[in-house]
Structure 1
Amino acid sequence: MTTDAELGEVIVEFVRNGPYVKCSAVHAATGVEVSAMGPVAEPRAVERVAIAKLKRALSQR
């Protein structure tokens, strides 16, 4: 679980699939979930993309 200054608690999960990693981010308060995929060598970059997607998804609600 991660805490973001804007979002609060966010559950982050990584799943490796060959040369790729999937990062799922779930907003704990609302249950909104997004995911992003990228190279396995850059999991933190993929996490940043997932968090940005989560912020965008929540702003559209």
Structure 2
Amino acid sequence: MNRGEGEYLVEFIQVGSYMKVSAVDPVSGREVSIVGPASASRNQLTRVAVNKLKYVLAKEKS
């Protein structure tokens, strides 16, 4: 996913009525994951996962 600041790898795994979304920063190798309803749009789930990844990366820098 290209967000202007960089690219992130995003993976979706459906487990029953839930969707696990993992976002990976290819530069640092840092990975985060979230779990949301499978009925949510992929755009919504991607946005939440990437925002969490950005938060973790920013926290590591400070």
With the shorter chain as reference, the TM-score category is 0.7 to 0.9
Question: What fraction of aligned residue pairs are identical, expressed as a percent?
Answer: 42
Aligned-pair RMSD on alpha carbons? 0.9
TM-score (norm 2): 0.87
Gaps of 5+ in 2: none
- Measure how far apart 1:26 and its partner are: 0.1
| Match in the other structure for 2:25 | 27
Length-normalised TM-score, structure 1:
0.88
Gap runs ≥5 in structure 1: none
- Structure in which a larger fraction of residues adopt helix: 2
For these two proteins, the number of residue pairs brought into alignment is 59
Q: Which runs of 4+ in 1 moved over 4 A?
A: none
